[in-house]
Amino acid sequence: MERDFLEQTKDRDIDLIVCSDAEAILGIGDQGVGISTAKSAIYTLIGGMDPSKSLSVTLDVGTNNADLLNDDLYVGWNHQRVRGEEYDRFIDRFVQLVRKYFSNSLLHFEDFGVTNAQRLLQRYRTTHSVFNDDIQGTGAVTLACVMAAVGVTKSKLSEQRYIIFGAGSAGMGIAHQLRDAIVQLNNFDESQANKLFYLVDKDGLITNELMMATSVRAELHPFARPNAEWHGVQRDKTGKIHLLEVVKHVKPTVLIGCSTSAGAFTEDIVKAMAAGCERPIILPLSNPSRLVEVNPKDAIDWTDGKALLATGSPFPPAKMPNRKDYIIAECNNALIYPGLGFGAILAQSRHMTDSMIIAGARRLAALSPALSDPENALLPDFVEAPHVNFEVGIAVAEQAIIEGTARVNWTEEQVRDEANKKVWKPIYEEYLYDEQGSR
């Protein structure tokens, strides 16, 4: 592996390495090989990263996609996915090469499966600057969106009641990011902040009882609800507590969907939520759009225009009761992850810390159009993504300097000037044709 790695990186100054084992590609699933190059391109297009300093890597550990295994033209390794210790050794060899040869780089993990994403992030985040977009990027942009929404309602993150529908990598990333922000910004301890969250998955509400009875992932345990809270709450024949019953019981102020369960936020659920709070914050984030938990138009209609909305895919404006258009913000990772990466690289940060991510989310939230007009979108339009990510990057680099993880010797006041120098711009020289061939 080392020889191949050095062959691809010979004489190159690498700032960014995007890697994927392509097990959990959004809307596709197990693709075997692919995706890394596209993510690197977005870093360049809207994050200002020099493409000559980025490296895209596919970690081909096989595929469980039967269509690919039976396709004679499939370019990947025709083998079932490797698991367990062999998988871990392979990933570790790659990560150690990154650390050995490009110690100042950012290592971006993309589309790893739910059984690997969180544990790999936890394993390496204290030894290198690593980032998982599916967990931290999704969590950060959702945090920014909720921050903007509570800015509209003149409340605090710690004053909300959160239901997250879908407890995979994205759902857990959102829960952790919101929880960590509450701890840092509102002076809660972690166990206190955990009590604000209710996670609902395919097995229903995550409770202590469910944790004991099934093979629910251990990372859900801090958010499991005590059994005593749910005496008398309606269950189905298998004992599950479904989303509608959770909404009625909890009266949430924030409802987040990352389940890929189309239409899961039914009229009954949305109206039950609206009955329990003045401005329900509803974020159906599943994508593509055919998998969204509720069409934003319906959510506006069912809440009489009270809902504050953002979606994971683009949607047209929804008509308010006053016939004005309500712009549906697109809660897209691309509004923040290139900036998070740019900031970490700019500061040559030893780690991508939680406080750096929160700093980036706060900067994005501060750019919300809804803060100046509550009937406007919760997040900036995607056309502003380059400017938004630049501002996010500055906030991240400033925070890295403040907390001492940066390797650069600048002050916070110098970050903006240094960022302007770092941004890569596609400027091409103009050449003139010389018919004589003398020049």
Per residue in 112-122, pLDDT tens? 888 898 899 99
- Reading the block at residue 103, the tokens are 């110690």
- Say if CB 216 and CB 200 are below 8 A apart: no
pLDDT tops 60 at residue 229:
yes
pTM over 0.75: yes
More confident residue, 384 or 212: 384
Tens digits of residue pLDDT in 248-297: 999 999 999 999 999 999 999 999 999 999 999 999 999 889 999 999 99
pLDDT tops 70 at residue 303:
yes
Which amino acid is it at 379? L
Region 172-192: mean pLDDT is: 95
* The CA-based dihedral angle spanning residues 21, 27, 30, 34, taken in that order and rounded to the nearest 10 degrees: -50
pLDDT tops 90 at residue 332:
yes
DSSP E strand stretches across 71-203: 106-109, 130-132, 162-165, 197-201
Q: In sequence order, which residues have a C-beta less than 8 Å from that of residue 18 and are 6 or more positions away?
A: 36, 37, 39, 40, 43, 54, 55, 56, 57, 108, 110
- Range with lowest mean pLDDT among 22-26, 76-80, 132-136, 165-169: 22-26
Find, among 59, 26, 17, the residue nearest to 313 by Cα.
Answer: 26
Q: How confident is residue 25, by pLDDT bands cut at 50, 70 and 90?
A: low
pLDDT tops 70 at residue 334:
yes
Helix, strand, coil fractions of the chain, as percent rounded to 5: 45, 10, 40
Pairing of strands 325-326, 318-319: antiparallel
Q: In sequence order, what are the beta bridge partners of 257? A: 165, 284
More confident residue, 218 or 307: 307
- Collapsing DSSP states into helix, strand and coil, what is residue 13? coil
- Say how far apart CA 315 and CA 328 lie, in whole Å: 6
pLDDT at residue number 269: 98
Tens digits of residue pLDDT in 193-218: 999 999 999 889 999 888 777 767 77
Q: How confident is residue 6, by pLDDT bands cut at 50, 70 and 90?
A: very high
Region 374-395: mean pLDDT is: 96
pLDDT at residue number 435: 82
Half-sphere exposure of 365 toward its Cβ, with a 13 Å CA cutoff? Answer: 21
- Say if CB 142 and CB 256 are below 8 A apart: yes
- Say how far apart CA 149 and CA 376 lie, in whole Å: 11
Region 158-165: mean pLDDT is: 97
**Interior CA angle at 56 toward 122 and 34, to 5°?**
90
- Reading the block at residue 373, the tokens are 């007009």
- Say if CB 17 and CB 98 are below 8 A apart: yes
pLDDT at residue number 356: 97
Average pLDDT along the chain: 92
Pairing of strands 130-132, 329-330: unpaired
Highest mean pLDDT among 73-82, 85-94, 210-219: 85-94
Region 7-27: mean pLDDT is: 86
- Say if CB 106 and CB 341 are below 8 A apart: yes
- Range with lowest mean pLDDT among 33-37, 173-177, 236-240, 305-309: 33-37
pLDDT at residue number 276: 93
Looking at the chain, the whole-number percentage of residues with pLDDT higher than 90 is 77
pLDDT tops 60 at residue 27:
no
- Say how far apart CA 278 and CA 159 lie, in whole Å: 13
pLDDT at residue number 209: 86
- Say how far apart CA 331 and CA 317 lie, in whole Å: 14
Region 147-167: mean pLDDT is: 97
Find, among 288, 306, 282, 395, the residue nearest to 347 by Cα.
Answer: 395
- Say how far apart CA 55 and CA 63 lie, in whole Å: 22
- The phi, psi pair for 109, rounded to 5°, reads -90, 135
Q: In sequence order, which residues have a C-beta less than 8 Å from that of residue 185 and are 6 or more positions away?
A: 157, 358
DSSP E strand stretches across 142-228: 162-165, 197-201, 204-205
- Say if CB 416 and CB 78 are below 8 A apart: no
- Say how far apart CA 281 and CA 265 lie, in whole Å: 13
- Reading the block at residue 129, the tokens are 């600057």
pLDDT tops 80 at residue 34:
no
Region 362-370: mean pLDDT is: 97
pLDDT at residue number 109: 94
pLDDT at residue number 115: 86
